[in-house]
Structure 1
Amino acid sequence: MSTVAQAFSSSGLLAKAIHGFSPRQAQLDMALEVEQAIAKQHTLIVEAGTGTGKTFAYLIPALMSDKKVIVSTGTKTLQEQLFHKDIPVIRKALATGAQMALLKGRANYLCIYRMEQFQHTRGVLDAQGLADFVQVKHWANGTHAGDIGELDSIAEDSSIFPHITSTADNCLARDCPHFEDCYLVKARQKAIEADVVVVNHHLFFADMALKDTGFGELIPKADVVIFDEAHQIADIASEYFGESFSTRQVQELCSDVIQAYKTTVTDVKQLGKAAEKLERTCQDFRLLFAHDPERGNWREKWHNARIRQAFEHLKTDLDFLYQVLKLNVSRNELVDNCFERAVTLLSKYDIVANIDAFEVSLWYETTRRHITLHQTPLSIADKFSQVVSESGAGWIFTSATLAVNNGFEHFARPLGLSQEHTLMLDSPFDYLNQSQLVVPRYLPEPNDGGRALALAELAVPLINSAAGACFMLFTSYRMMNQVAELLEDKIDNPLLVQGQMAKRNLLTEFIAQPDAVLLATASFWEGVDVRGDKLTCVIIDKLPFASPDEPLLQARSEDARRQGKDPFAEIQLPQAVIALKQGVGRLIRDVNDRGVLVICDNRIVNRPYGQVFLSSLPEMRRSRDLDKAASFLTTIHSETQSR
């Protein structure tokens, strides 16, 4: 028996260190495959159903290998869970002295230089922002890691954070007077020296694309690369292999130029004027787009004369600022840094202005204040597969949702990955007895004006039977808000609606209030773990097909058509299947969980492609009878109350 197999046995290291540990065949199967991938330096793709225990299945062989390991997760929340909860248990079980490091993107670390600069200039902030700054100053005196995640009393979207953190653009690097004390530098150095480094996908691909200097030492040194929640990485990787031009970056440049003018080059009035003019031009450009955040096709917008003219004015004013900065190069580090950023931004401008480029998607996305223009390659298979093959490392890709119709083609092909070594592990949960899948009859079509009312009326008896403990997951904010408004008059349960507060706080409130109902969109379809009787009913408003207006989807669909392929079967359907599997995964999180899943979309039973969805879901008891579902929920609630 190998040392890895021994660790997972009933008398092994995990059984001795973890109370209640019991061997699971699927977990052991995955661990042994991971061990082989590491030893033979090949690629392994694993779908491990919910409850398999995939985290331990990849961490144990990784730590036992005595090699340099990078583990990349989907979000910062998962990063922290892995680092602070799972890894300490394994370290204790293995009694290993391996060094561990948690590394986040630079925006997560306090920048001492920028904090001091802000204190000197007292930039424009509202009262809340200034109050937050007082807290930051107090915290900064005692922090060791400089991780702004420690500031849990300050809202995640506080206006203070851009003023006390750096970006790759405005970081002075070795020219910074605080370089020796820099929290980011210390975190990176610790990661370079560590045996196991936990990052997130965005940070991993930022490094791979060499967009963020100073972290590029990590990946070439890795012997083992593990992606958890790997279903997300194709789109994230595409973004980082592309280019973008953002008015946020331009306005941050303007802010720093104005700061330099006010503090160190006060004799150059033209600097301040040029920066202020460019700021106004950025604002004017943003005002030509819809007020609410949106995404769209940049090529189509380019044909709007007013938008094209405003975009050209941006280039004129950015070029003028560049010329003024050029005349003042070598005055000090900040001016030199601003000059280099202006050069970079002009280069990025030219890339997104080339609307005739081939093999790329040109698209835009807006926030309330800014607009970002993206040029994204339609395929990264060649680039990514080259990195994998030349690394000499073992690469493990795992998630509970990678397969579509019992195959990995949809996941592997865009990344250029070999499918020679794959593994599909079913969940150990007894879905037939633990759950019901209901597809209600006679619902209005998705675009019907009466659909919101129908969904609200359908939900009421289920919410009442479950006494709350319900998620309603939507594919659009519009439908979510319409249903929320209707439910306010129909139920007495606490209604928690995405957007009312931070995601973490919403979940905390949901768990704290046993009769709560939570309404949410895409970000709650995955990475949310609510166990036991706190969540017994998940209602999904419709099959999660991406909007046909999604610019990257449009471009990939057009590319598929040119190759004689069916865009729906190749791209849209597999994406929707993965998204639905993630939503379904919110319901049963533990061996004792029970619940009802309601999919309010008849296409899953009356369209030929519906079978692809059904064959990709766990084997649940299926019904079209809402009364049966309500009865099952009543039983669950009654038994919970009588415990």
Structure 2
Amino acid sequence: MGNKYVVVDLETNGNSPKKGDRIIQFAAVVIEDGKIVEEYSSLLNPLQPISPFIEELTGINDEMVESAPLFDEIAEKVQSLLKDAYFVAHNVMFDLSFLSDELEQAGFEGFYGPIIDTVEMARILFPTADSYKLTDLAIQENIEHDRPHQADSDAYVTAELLLIMLNKLEELPLQTIRQLESLSGALKSDLDQLLDQIAIKQQKTNSFMREGLEIYRGLALKLEDTGKAAKKNLQDYIEFNEKDIEDRMRQVLPNYVTRAGQQEMIQDVLKCFNGNIHGLIEAGTGIGKSLAYLLGAAYFAKKEKKQIVVSTFTTQLQEQLTHKDLPILESIIPFPIMSTVLKGRNHYISLDKFEVSLKEQDDNYDIVLTKMQILIWLTETQTGDKDELNLSSGGLKFWHKIKNNGNFSLPFSKEWVPKDFYRRTRNAAQKADIIITNHALMLNNLTADKGLLPNYEYAIIDEGHHFEKNAIKHFGHQFSYVGAKLSFQAIGTYEQKQLLYKLLSNFDEVHDEKNKLNRLLADLLLELDELFRTILRYVKRTANKSSNKASIRIKRDGSIQWNQMEIVAERFIFLLKDCKNALLQSLEAFYGKTDISALPMNQVLAADRIKGILEEWDKYMLTLRQIFLREEENITWLEVDWKSFPHQAVLYAQPHSVSELLLTHLFAKKKSVVFASATLTVNNSFDYYVKALGLAETNHVEKQIPSPFQYDKQVRLIVPDEVPEINNVPLGEYIEAVTGHIVTIAQATSGRMLILFTSNEMLKKTYELIKEKGSLLDYAILAQGITTGSRMRLTRNFQRYDKAILLGTNSFWEGIDIPGEDLTCLIIVRLPFSSPDEPLNEAKNERIKTLGGNPFLENSLPEAVLRFKQGFGRLIRTETDKGFIVILDRRILTTTYGETFLKSIPHVPLIRKKLDDIEFFIKEWI
């Protein structure tokens, strides 16, 4: 590439040249003819002190710049470097505005030539990268980056990255280059000129497309890899041999140590499958359960020629199995195995819709960038699965327009069927030995007429403790005010209405039909508001408005308010049905009388969207019937935010129990379903889950495999003496006492502390009080719902600081993994009992009482113990971890049920001391 590129990086004493911040280091790397030809860097004297934060970030201090030149002295050199070049930087606008400002102050012209932002370019060319930070991209591309945040090092790394990206551009097919060029006008970077040069060069040299790609209907796609399928029967099954597997694991896994529990679990899975019996396996932390059940599944699948479905709780866990555990499995077993991942349809791209979207003119930056990302991704992906992509929030909105929803309604849709990723994945699932899916899809499959999964007989359910709650959600229903309103308004948008009027022009009385439709839509919106007004009148009688958010039970109680709700709900359902039927007639007439291939694409897509909306309306009618018009008892409730009623109001209906449903749809139909989790027992008994899942009536195996960790040596459990009993003092006083303990213990452990709460309100008040006390000013204090960021981002930030404290609630009790010294202390503020007023809990407890049971022992206590075990499991993640668990809820010692909590976790020494002694003990033990 004959262009000249100057890659610039600056270190500055702040973010704003307008406020007087100055450059303290300038660096430039010059690239010509695809090679680095010059490097230049200089420290600069900003004539102002360097702030401590910048000194810590860059390693540059006042002393180092004292005798350095002023910017004026190097301005001419800078300008000569930039002459006739592309100005390139990582976040180009920052460096460009700073540098232009300094050049103008020095009496020179700012830079007005072409620019390239390597962040933007990386987002396009590496659409699946986890992060677009320079340090992360350097790791991804194997570029050595030894001094981040020093301009000379950053500039050199950015230059290396640019060369890799220019190279990647040149290897793209001409078709893709031209498509990128047509979109590049909306970018910050001046890529259009560059792309045009590459295209002309390719046309001149008549360069061939790189291997493994094809052009299909104008899109460059990666050819399907059929190598795996061909390899499938190369080798026959080899009988399972424990010693052989151990030897292979030793070769494949670094630092492998024999784990008796892992070998035991492989045998347990095989016993269940061979005996056609269901199983529950509680495998302690550190056993390596994923690999254990995958090995059992692989041997059984290969020997018996049966398919095994492995279901996980989330798609993230699916990813972990696919990218981490399955490659290890394949390198250990002595025969080839075929595995595939299957997710819900809308995880996959619809190539026909994407083809249409490329013809639509868009000046929205996020949409253009996402289209460019997808063009690159299609030359690389084998799956077409959105989870591979790193999309912005605007990009995710665009995805909803091009995701696969099964409606092949475009004139040329059928031509895309052979290339359809979702179809390809389903075909792969038919041939696979192991299919990885998630609980939601597996549950959908149980009751769907035509399920997505092949007809399997054997399954492993990982994170099995979530399955019952997922099943309750799956067999339940929900109806939100905003969701319904948006779908009614979507029919009424200009684009949809234009289409509808076109549809209606198929009829004789166009005018009447238009009016009828407009009237129906207007009435629907009025009735929706009326429905939620009557719901508000009903819940107001029992609602506690002390906090903004509330969950309020709704049950047939014969009150006037209930009868009003029933009447309005029935009227609303009839109106919705009328509206749906009117639209359906129009659509059927449209599809019956119209040559779809002659229509503009936006009209075909709009008709497709209307079809989707009408399917949603069917679900709305079903939900409202379940809540208001059915005799059978579901648990129904309203979740509401009083500040924005009815906009955040959602109605829910869920079954009391799924045991019979699971028995009918899962256990009676499958030969062997094995549940695996680290938390399936309460006080060493599986009874709670056996009953909840519907396994009580079946012949099944129960097995506990203890963790290989030496908890008695690695952990100390501390219960302080001075913390007041939680139920004996006002909440404010309890929080005051808790905060005092947290501050003292944090100083003893130098942070590295995770604090688990059971309510957002308590977390918030404790956080504010810690800040107010001012004793931990040099600590990074991160709190869920207060500090911005997802759970994973908060966890990463926690690991980044030396002295860090992380406050978390609900989702932090499980699934976060902080091994090593980053986490030394876990504090459990109160035992994790759910509120008895929470609708699901209240209804479950009522039902147990009606059946003559004890709600506390049968529901509240087991739920809390299982949650407690999950929290306990956060501290020790490896054989070398060491730390403290501090429980600030004295009920663990003062009540009879406290013993159930202690007996349900591994045995660890229990320390009871006063706060001063605890501080001394912690320092000494660390």
Same fold (TM over 0.5): yes
Question: Structure 2 counterpart of 1:442, which letter?
Answer: E
Matched, 1:498 2:784: yes
Distance 1:157 1:608, change over 3 A: farther
Distance 1:536 1:424, change over 3 A: same
CA shift for structure 1 position 64: 1.6
Q: State the secondary structure of the residue aligned to 1:45.
A: strand
Which stretch has the larger CA shift, 102-111 or 547-556? Answer: 102-111
CA shift for structure 1 position 592: 0.5
Give deviations 1:40-89, integer Å, cap 9, x for gaps.
22111111111122112111111122231211112222221111111111
Q: Is the 8 A contact 2:282 2:676 kept in 1?
A: yes
Matched, 1:30 2:310: no
Q: Is the 8 A contact 1:439 1:602 kept in 2?
A: yes
Give deviations 1:79-130, integer Å, cap 9, x for gaps.
211111111111111154322222233443445577788899999xxx9xx5
CA shift for structure 1 position 606: 0.8
Matched, 1:265 2:500: yes
Q: Is the 8 A contact 1:74 1:229 kept in 2?
A: yes
Matched, 1:79 2:359: no
Q: State the secondary structure of the residue aligned to 1:266.
A: helix
Equivalent in the alignment of 1:329? 587
CA shift for structure 1 position 631: 4.0
Q: Is the 8 A contact 1:222 1:393 kept in 2?
A: no
Matched, 1:351 2:626: yes
CA shift for structure 1 position 320: 4.4
Question: Structure 2 counterpart of 1:494, which letter?
Answer: A
Distance in structure 1 (CA, Å) of the matches to 2:894 and 2:797: 38
Matched, 1:406 2:684: yes
Find 1:386's aligned residue among 655, 664, 667: 664
CA shift for structure 1 position 246: 3.9
Number of corresponding residues: 621
Q: State the secondary structure of the residue aligned to 1:222.
A: coil
The equivalences for 1:201-600 within 5 A come to 201-210=439-448, 216-218=451-453, 221-247=455-481, 249-251=483-485, 253-254=487-488, 256-258=490-492, 261-262=496-497, 264-267=499-502, 268=504, 269-270=514-515, 271=517, 274-275=520-521, 278-279=524-525, 282=528, 288=536, 292-299=548-555, 304=561, 311=569, 314-315=572-573, 317-330=575-588, 331-332=590-591, 334=608, 335-354=610-629, 356-358=631-633, 360-366=634-640, 369-417=647-695, 418=698, 420-444=700-724, 445=726, 448-489=731-772, 490=774, 491-492=776-777, 493-499=779-785, 500-600=788-888
Equivalent in the alignment of 2:69? none
Distance in structure 2 (CA, Å) of the matches to 1:344 and 1:122: 34
Q: Is the 8 A contact 2:358 2:371 kept in 1?
A: no
Give deviations 1:495-527, integer Å, cap 9, x for gaps.
111122111211111122232211111101111
Distance 1:483 1:243, change over 3 A: same
Question: Structure 1 counterpart of 2:339, which letter?
Answer: M
Q: Is the 8 A contact 1:245 1:373 kept in 2?
A: yes
Q: Is the 8 A contact 2:367 2:394 kept in 1?
A: no
Q: State the secondary structure of the residue aligned to 2:442.
A: helix
Give deviations 1:429-459, integer Å, cap 9, x for gaps.
1111111111223324255222222221110
Distance in structure 2 (CA, Å) of the matches to 1:365 and 1:118: 38
Equivalent in the alignment of 1:70? 309
Distance 1:547 1:432, change over 3 A: same
Distance 1:159 1:336, change over 3 A: closer
Instruction: Name the TM-score, length of structure 1 as normaliser.
Output: 0.87
- Structure 1: stretches of 5+ with no match in the other structure: 638-643
Distance 1:239 1:114, change over 3 A: farther
Q: Is the 8 A contact 1:8 1:23 kept in 2?
A: no
Distance in structure 1 (CA, Å) of the matches to 2:667 and 2:490: 42
Q: Which structure is higher in RCO with an 8 Å CA cutoff and minimum separation 6?
A: 1
Find 1:6's aligned residue among 228, 243, 260: 243
Question: Structure 1 counterpart of 2:292, which letter?
Answer: A
Q: Is the 8 A contact 2:576 2:617 kept in 1?
A: yes
Q: State the secondary structure of the residue aligned to 1:83.
A: helix
The equivalences for 1:11-22 within 5 A come to 12-22=247-257
Distance in structure 2 (CA, Å) of the matches to 1:476 and 1:131: 40
Distance in structure 2 (CA, Å) of the matches to 1:265 and 1:252: 17
Q: State the secondary structure of the residue aligned to 1:439.
A: strand
Q: Is the 8 A contact 1:496 1:510 kept in 2?
A: yes
Equivalent in the alignment of 1:56? 291
Which stretch has the larger CA shift, 137-146 or 275-284? Answer: 275-284
Distance in structure 1 (CA, Å) of the matches to 2:743 and 2:688: 38
Which stretch has the larger CA shift, 432-441 or 336-345? Answer: 336-345
Distance 1:55 1:337, change over 3 A: closer
Q: State the secondary structure of the residue aligned to 1:357.
A: coil
Equivalent in the alignment of 1:641? none
Q: Is the 8 A contact 1:408 1:419 kept in 2?
A: no
Question: Structure 1 counterpart of 2:639, which letter?
Answer: E
Distance in structure 2 (CA, Å) of the matches to 1:556 and 1:122: 54
Distance in structure 1 (CA, Å) of the matches to 2:491 and 2:356: 12
Q: Is the 8 A contact 1:298 1:373 kept in 2?
A: no
Question: Structure 2 counterpart of 1:582, which letter?
Answer: Q
Matched, 1:154 2:392: yes
Q: State the secondary structure of the residue aligned to 2:292.
A: helix
Equivalent in the alignment of 2:508? none
Q: Is the 8 A contact 2:370 2:391 kept in 1?
A: no
Q: Considering only CA atoms, is the larger Rg found in Structure 1 or Structure 2?
A: 2
Distance in structure 2 (CA, Å) of the matches to 1:635 and 1:134: 59
Distance 1:336 1:17, change over 3 A: closer
CA shift for structure 1 position 548: 0.9
Q: Is the 8 A contact 1:37 1:44 kept in 2?
A: yes
Distance in structure 2 (CA, Å) of the matches to 1:4 and 1:413: 36
Equivalent in the alignment of 1:614? 902
Give deviations 1:546-599, integer Å, cap 9, x for gaps.
111222222221111111110110111101000000001001111100111111
Which stretch has the larger CA shift, 16-25 or 306-315? Answer: 306-315
| % identical aligned pairs | 28
Give deviations 1:288-321, integer Å, cap 9, x for gaps.
5889554331227996578667756643652442
Distance in structure 2 (CA, Å) of the matches to 1:78 and 1:429: 23
CA shift for structure 1 position 251: 4.0
- Structure 2: stretches of 5+ with no match in the other structure: 1-237, 505-513, 540-544, 592-606
Distance in structure 1 (CA, Å) of the matches to 2:825 and 2:560: 47
Distance in structure 2 (CA, Å) of the matches to 1:309 and 1:628: 66
Equivalent in the alignment of 2:165? none
Q: Is the 8 A contact 1:595 1:633 kept in 2?
A: no
Matched, 1:104 2:360: no
Distance 1:385 1:319, change over 3 A: closer
Q: Is the 8 A contact 1:361 1:375 kept in 2?
A: yes
Distance 1:365 1:437, change over 3 A: same
Equivalent in the alignment of 2:171? none
Distance in structure 2 (CA, Å) of the matches to 1:157 and 1:191: 29
Q: Is the 8 A contact 1:4 1:64 kept in 2?
A: no
